[in-house]
Structure 1
Amino acid sequence: MTSSKTDARPRGVVGVLAFAGIVAALTQTLVVPLLGDLPRLFDTSASNASWVVTATLLSAAVATPVAGRLGDMYGKRRMLLLSLAPLVVGSVVCALSSSVVPMIVGRGLQGLGMGVVPLGISLLRDVLPADRLGASIALISASMGVGGALGLPFSAAVAENASWRVLFWVVAALAAVVGVLVRLRVPAGRTAPHAGRFDVPGAVGLGGALVCLLLAVSKGSDWGWTSGTTLGLFAASAAAVLLWGWWELRTAEPLVDLRVTARPLVLMTNAASVLVGFAMYAQSLVVPQLLQLPEATGYGLGQSMLAMGLWMAPAGLMMMVLAPLGAKLTAARGPKITLGVGSLVIALGYASALPLMGSTVGLLVVTLVCNTGVGLAYGAMPALIMGAVPRSETASANSFNTLMRSIGSSVSAAVTGVVLAQMTTDFAGHLLPSEGAFRAALLIGSGVALAASVVAFLIPAGPAAESEGAGEAEASPHVPSGAPA
C-alpha cells in the first residue's frame, strides 16, 4: 500500500465522502412526492409508474456487492468514480424523460450508483489513521439519514413550486460535483496485490437471486402473495441462492467469500443488519401516512407533503449530530454494544409512538428517538464488519452488509404494506388503513428492533481478521472483542 494514510487530510476526505452519501440518499427519496402524479405525467397506469421505484431497488441490490468486490480488486476510489457516472447519466435521462420507460431506465441507472456509501466507508480504512476511523465511519453512515431527511421537503417544495424535472437536474449536478471532489480530494487507497479475475458467474447468480427475491417482495401485494408469479419468483430465488452458494464455495476467487461471511461474528452482524433495516424502514412508512391522513379520520393529522417532510427532517439530522456520540460509545465499549444499544433505542422509539401518535410533536419525538437508534446502529455495523474481515475484502464485506440492510428494508415494506392493507376502515367511500393497523405496524417494528438488540448482544467476541497478520489487527479501528480502540 502507498502512503495515502499519511498524505490524506482526514476532514476533507470525510467531508467529501459524507457529501457523497447525502447525494445517494437524496436520490432514493427524490421521487416520493411525484408518485401520485406519475400516472398523469406519463399517461400510464399506477402499476407501471411503480416501476420507477422498483427499478432503483433492483439495480442497487445487484450493483452494490459487485461494486464492493471490484473496489477491493481495482481500487475503491476508482469504483466510487465509476459508480457516480451512472448516477449522473441516470439523473439526466430522468430529467429529459417524456414517458415512463425512459424514466424507469434512468432510475435504474441511478440505482447503480448506490454503492458509493459502502465503498466510501471501506476507503476510510485505507486512508485514515486508526484514531480518526470510528468517528468518520459513524459520520458517513449518518449521511444517509441526512440525505433522506432533506430529500422529502426539498422534493416536495420543488414539485409544488417548479417543474419536477428540476429535481433530477439538481441531483445530476450534485453527483457531478461529488465526482470532481472525489477525484481531487480523496486518495486512491489500497488495491489487491494480485487483482485476479472477477467472478462473473457469481455476480450473475447473486444478481438473479436478488432480482427474483426483491421483485416478489416489492410487487407481491400487486400480483397477489399466492399468485403463481410471486410464488415462482420466491422459488427461483431460493434455487438461485443454493446454486450461487455452491459456486462461491468452489471457485478460487469468489464474489463473496462465504467462508469469511460464515464466521459467527460476521454472520450475526449481517443477521442483525437485516433486522435493523426492517425496523428502520417500518417507521418511515407509518409516520408519513399518519401525518398526511385527514384529521376527520380521528387519527390522521392532515399535513401536506411539504409539511410532512419538514416534520420528519430533524430526525435525519439527528443521526449526524449524534454520530460522534456513537463513535465514543464504540471506542469505550465496542461496536457490538453500540449496535445493541442502538437497536434498543429504536424499539423504545416505536413503543413511545403508541401514546404519542395523536400529535405532530409526538410523532416528531418518535422519529427523533428512532433515528437516534438507527444512527448508533448504522455506525456500528461497518466497524464490526471491518474488524472481522481481511483488509483485501473490506469493500466486498461492507457492500454485502449494506445489501443485508436493503433486504431487511424491502421485507419491512412488504410486511408493513400487508398490515396496512388488511386492517382498513371506510372513510368517505375510500378504504384507509385503520388506527389499529398503524398500532400493529408499530408493535411489529418494536419487536423486530428488540430482536435485533438480542442478536447484537449475542455477537461473539473474536480476533480481528487473521489472514493478513498482526499488523492487520492493529490497523483495524475496532477489535470485535469489545476492547477500546
Structure 2
Amino acid sequence: MIAASKAGASKGKGSGSMVAVLAFCGSVVSLMQTLVVPILPDLPRIFDAPAEDTSWIVTATLLAAAVSHPVVGRLGDMYGKRRMVLIILALMVVGSAICALTGSLAWVVFGRALQGLAIGVIPLGISIMRDNLTPERLGSAMALISATLGFGGAIGMPLAAFIAQHAHWHALFWTAGGIGLLDLLLVLFFVRESPVRANARFDLVGAVWLTAGLICLMLGITKGGSWGWGSAATLGTFAAALVLLPAWGWYELRRRDPLVDLRTSARRPVLFTNLASILVGFSIMVMMLVLPHVLQSPTSTGYGFGLTMLEAGLILGPSGAVSMVLSPVSARISRRYGPKVSLMLGAVLMGVTYIVSVVALDTLWKIVLTSSVIGAGLALAYAAMPDLIMRVVPVTETAAANGLNALMRAVGTSTSSAVTSAVMANMTITVGPLTVTSLTGIQTAMLIAGGAAVLGVLIAAFIPTGQSVVRTLTADPADAPARSAA
C-alpha cells in the first residue's frame, strides 16, 4: 500500500507541466504539415522548377510522417519514449535550419522530410503520459494531446500565411526551427522518461521492409493525381505496395520480436479502431481542402467569398480552438460511457454536419459553424482512439500501437486528399479566364466526407466492450515496470 501511494505521488508530481509541454509539442509538429500551404502557388517561381517537382516539398513530409509513426513508436518502446521525442524534435530543428539556409529544391525537400518525422511526437507523447500519469489524469491528458492534431493544423494556415505575406519565405522555416528548439528545451526540463521498456531487439529488416512498402503505398496515393491514375508509375507503386506489405506481414508474424505485433493489432478492439481511424481521417481532411477553397474562390463562381488565405485561415481558426476546448468533455464522455461512445459520437457529428453543409455554405457564419462542429467531432473521435488502443495492448507496446493507429489516420487523410482533389479537378466550371471547381464538385466532396464518417460510425459499432478490456484499463499503471521486466 505504501509503495502504491508513493508510485501515485511520483506520477502526480509535475504532471500538469508535462502534459502542457507535450500538448504544445503536438501542436507544433501538427503545424509542420500546413507550414508551406500559403506559398504552394509560388514554389515553381521560387525554385524555377515545374510544379510537379516542387510538389515534393509536401510529398516528402507526408512520406516521412507515414514512416515515422510505427518505426519511431517501436524505438520509443525499446530505448525510451522521451529520448525518441528529443531525437525527432532535434531532426525537425535541423530540417527547419536546412530549409531556412538554402535555395536548393533538393535540400528543401530533404529538410521537409526531416520535419515530417516529428509527427511521431504525438503517439510517443500519449504513451509517455500513460506510463507517467495516474489513471484519473490520463483520460483528459490523452484527449488534450489528441486535440492538438486539429488545433495545430487550424492555426498553421493563418500563422504561415501571415509570415509569408510579411516576410521572405525563409522566415517560415526560421520560425519553425525556433519553436522546435523551444520544444526541445521544454521536453528536457519538464518531461520525465517513461519507466516502461520493451526488452527486445529492434527489427531493422522489418523497419526497412515496412518503410519501402509504405513509401510505395503513399507515393501512389499522393502522386497518382499528377502522374495519372492509370500511369505506369502509379500502377507500379501500388503493385509494389501490394507485394511488399503482405510479405512484410508474413515476415513479422514469424519474428520473435516484431516491429509491430500483428497478432495484437488483429484483435477486434485494435483492428476496428484502426479501420474507423482511416475513415475519420479521410473525413476530416475534406474540410481542410474544401472550405479554404470555398472561402478563397472568387465571388463570380457563385459560391466563393474571394478572401485571402490569411482571412480564410482566420475564419477556420475557431475549429482548432473548439477541438482544444472540448478535449476535457471528450475525456469525461469516455470515462462515463466508454471511448467507443466518444468515437461514435464524434463521427456522427462529422457525418451529419458534412451532409447538412451541402446546403449551408452560403454565408460566412454557417462556414464557421460547420468547421467548428466538425472540429468538435474531431476532438471526440481522436481523443477516443488512443484510449481504445491502450486498453488492450501490452504496456511495452503502447508507442508502437499508437504509432500504427496514427499511421492509419495518415493513410485516411492522404487518401482523402487524392480523392477530393480528383473530384474537385474533374467537376469544374469556366468563370471568365478561370476554370474552377463547380458547386456540384464542392457538394460531392462534402457528401463523400459525410459518407466516410457514417461508415466510420458503423465500423466503430463493432468495437467490443467487455470485462477483459475493462480489467486491462483498470490495472494499476504502477505495476507497468514490473510487468515489463517479467
Question: Residue in 2 aligned with 1:431?
Answer: 435
Tell which deviates more after alignment, 256-265 or 160-169.
160-169
The Cα offsets for residues 204-233 of structure 1, whole Å up to 9 and x where unpaired, read as: 111111100110111111111011111111
Instruction: Render the CA deviation track for 1:358-406: whole Å, top value 9, x for unaligned.
Output: 1221111110111100110000000000011010100000000000000
Query: Partner letter of residue 56 of structure 1?
Result: T
Per-residue Cα deviation, 1:6-36 (whole angstroms, up to 9, x for no partner): 3631210100000000110111111000101
2:127 aligns to what? 122
SS state of the match for residue 119, structure 2? coil
How far, CA to CA, are the matches of 1:14 and 1:45 in structure 2? 43
In 1, are the aligned partners of 2:12 and 2:134 still within 8 Å (CA)? no
TM-score by length of 1: 0.95
Query: Any residues of structure 2 matched to 1:84-103 within 5 Å, and which?
Result: 84-103=89-108
1:182 aligns with 2:183: no
Q: Which residue of 2 aligns with 1:45?
A: 50
User: What secondary structure does 1:147 align onto?
Assistant: helix
Rounded to whole Å, the distance in 2 between the matches of 1:472 and 1:292 is: 46
C-alpha contact (below 8 Å) 1:301/1:358 kept by paired residues = no
| TM-score normalised by L of structure 2 | 0.95
Please list every run of at least 4 consecutive aligned residues from structure 1 whose deviation after the TM superposition is greater than 6 angstroms.
none
Partner of 1:480: none
Q: Given that residues 265 and 462 in structure 1 are in contact (C-alpha distance below 8 angstroms), is that contact kept between their aligned partners in structure 2?
A: no
SS in 2 for 1:461: coil
Please give the alpha-carbon distance, in whole angstroms, between the structure 1 residues aligned to 2:143 and 2:179.
22
Change (3 A) 1:266 1:476: farther
* One-letter code aligned to 1:152: M
Q: Which residue of 1 aligns with 2:266?
A: 262
Cα distance between partner residues in 2 of 1:464 and 1:42:
57
Name the amino acid aligned to 1:456. Answer: A
Question: CA RMSD of the aligned region, Å?
Answer: 1.7
The residue number in structure 1 matching 2:377 is 373
Alpha-carbon distance in 2 for matches of 1:424, 1:73: 51
Q: Please name the residue that 2:226 is paired with.
A: 222
Task: Report the equivalent of 1:81.
Answer: 86
Question: Aligned-pair distance for 1:142?
Answer: 0.8
What secondary structure does 2:435 align onto?
A: strand
SS of the residue aligned with 2:197?
A: coil
Structure 1 position 463, deviation (Å): 4.8
SS in 1 for 2:118: coil
Counterpart of 1:246 in structure 2 is 250
Local SS of the residue matching 1:250: coil
Query: What do residues 23-75 of structure 1 show as CA deviations (whole Å, max 9, x unaligned)?
Result: 10111111000101111111111111100000000011112211100111111
Q: CA deviation at 1:147?
A: 1.3
> Deviation of residue 354 (structure 1)?
1.5
Q: Which moved more, 1:393-402 or 1:155-164?
A: 155-164
Residue pair 2:198, 2:397 contacting (<8 A) in 1 also: no
Q: Which moved more, 1:185-194 or 1:206-215?
A: 185-194
**Distance change >3 Å, CA 322–CA 251, structure 1 → 2:** same
Give the partner amino acid of 1:164.
W
Aligned residue for 1:98, secondary structure, equals: coil
**For residue 368 of structure 2, what is the aligned residue in structure 1?**
364
* Superposed counterparts of 1:75-224, under 5 Å: 75-192=80-197, 194=199, 196-224=200-228
- Would the aligned equivalents of 1:335 and 1:380 in 2 still touch at CA under 8 Å? yes
**Aligned counterpart for 2:277 among listed residues 262, 273, 279:** 273
State which of 396, 405, 409 in structure 2 corresponds to 1:405: 409
Letter in 1 for 2:154: A
Partner in structure 1 of residue 340 of structure 2: 336
Matched, 1:293 2:294: no
SS in 2 for 1:244: helix
- Give the Cα–Cα distance (whole angstroms) in 2 for the partners of residues 375 and 350 of structure 1: 16
Q: Which residue of 2 aligns with 1:483?
A: none
CA distance in 1: counterparts of 2:33 and 2:394, whole angstroms:
31
Shift in Å, 1:163: 1.4
Residue pair 1:8, 1:186 contacting (<8 A) in 2 also: no
Q: Distance in 2 between matches of 1:75 and 1:16?
A: 17
2:484 aligned partner: none
Which residue identity does 1:285 align to in structure 2?
L
Distance (whole Å) between structure 2 residues aligned to residue 148 and residue 19 of structure 1? 13
Separation of aligned partners in 1, 2:76 and 2:472: 22
1:353 and 2:354 correspond: no
Q: 1:69: which partner in 2?
A: 74
* Counterpart-to-counterpart distance in 2, 1:29 and 1:475: 39
Offset at residue 462 of structure 1 (A)? 3.5
Partner of 2:388: 384
SS in 1 for 2:357: helix
> Structure 1: which 5+ runs fail to align?
478-485
Tell me the SS of whatever aligns to 1:425. Answer: strand
- Stretch of structure 1 that moved more, 129-138 or 429-438: 429-438
Corresponding residue number in structure 1 for 2:60 = 55
The answer to whether the 8 Å contact 1:199/1:253 transfers is yes
Asked whether the equivalents of residues 391 and 473 of structure 2 are also in contact (C-alpha less than 8 Å), the reply is: no
Q: Which deviates further from its counterpart, 437-446 or 91-100?
A: 91-100
Contact 2:77 2:198 in 1 (8 A): no
Tell me the percent identity. Answer: 45
Q: What is the DSSP-based 3-state SS (H/G/I as helix, E as strand, rest coil) of the residue aligned with 2:358?
A: helix
The equivalent of 1:235 in structure 2 is 239
Which position in structure 1 is the counterpart of 2:27? 22
Contact between 2:57 and 2:112, CA under 8 Å: does it hold in 1? yes
The 2-side partners of 1:353 and 1:233 are apart by 36
Q: 1:96 to 1:299 in 2, by over 3 A?
A: same
Alignment partners' CA distance in 1, 2:29 and 2:69:
12
Corresponding residue SS for 1:35: helix
* One-letter identity of the residue aligned with 1:73: M
Once the 2 structures are TM-superposed, how far is the Cα of residue 165 of structure 1 from its aligned partner?
Answer: 1.3
CA distance in 2, matches of 1:471, 1:393: 14
CA contact (8 A) 2:392 2:472 kept: no
Question: Are the counterparts in 1 of residues 196 and 395 from structure 2 also a CA contact under 8 Å?
Answer: no
Q: What secondary structure sits across from 2:365 in the alignment? A: helix
Amino acid at match of 1:451: L
AA at the equivalent of 1:85: A
